[in-house]
Amino acid sequence: MFNWIKENIIMVFVVILLVALAGFGIFSKFKESTHRPP
């Protein structure tokens, strides 16, 4: 597994980045909807 990560470090980094961006987008949407005044 570690050898695969070493060989595909760029792909692993891109996947982590995409997951982080998706999570941040969902979090900001959730925060926006919860903090919106009634």
Q: What range does the domain containing 20 cover?
A: 1-37
Confidence of residue 36 (pLDDT cuts 50, 70, 90): low
Domains of the chain: total: 1
* pLDDT grade for 16, boundaries at 50, 70 and 90: very high
Residue 38 has pLDDT above 80, yes or no: no
Whole-Å CA distances, 10 to 14, 15, 18, 25, 35 = 6, 9, 12, 22, 37
- Would you say residue 37 has pLDDT above 90? no
Q: pTM score > 0.95 for this model?
A: no
Cβ contact 17:24 at 8 Å: no
Q: Which amino acid, 8?
A: N
C-alpha 10/C-alpha 16 separation (Å) is 10
